[in-house]
Structure 1
Amino acid sequence: MLISKISELKPVFSSERVTEWQPASQGPRYRYERDRAAVGQEMTPGSEQYEWYVLAKNDLTSAKRKVFELINQDYL
């Protein structure tokens, strides 16, 4: 599922320390963990095993940008 704008990216779960996105119902999840300062991309949908990408700046905006980038890389 290619998305054209970051604003199309809506979280499926959000708390003070964790935000998760899953743009396609059967696709992988993307997880931002504030404590890790990283975004994780689920390796296999439903596995809850993530490949982590450390963020240069630890905030939700940077996390959304990274998730947007990862989603569009997967679907190109």
Structure 2
Amino acid sequence: MDYDDVCARLACIGKSVSGEQIMTTFLEIAIAWIAPCLIATAIVAPMVWRKLRTRRTLQAIHHARESRDL
């Protein structure tokens, strides 16, 4: 759907639309999606980082034990 299609659909319901209004609507929708994604990332990222760090630590301990046994 391009700009003309959007204008045609909105004209059918009696609204005139400018490019500025379409951009504003697009930005509002983008922000509405980005905000929850950033919040979820802020919650999940530290947990994933901690899990990866723990795994690397356990691998290092395992490797050290194997090296000591040889």
Shorter-chain TM-score range? 0.3 to 0.5
Structure number with bigger Rg: 2
The TM-score normalised by the length of structure 2 is 0.36
Higher relative contact order (Cα pairs below 8 Å, separated by 6+ residues): 1
Task: Indicate the structure with greater helix content.
Answer: 2
The TM-score normalised by the length of structure 1 is 0.33
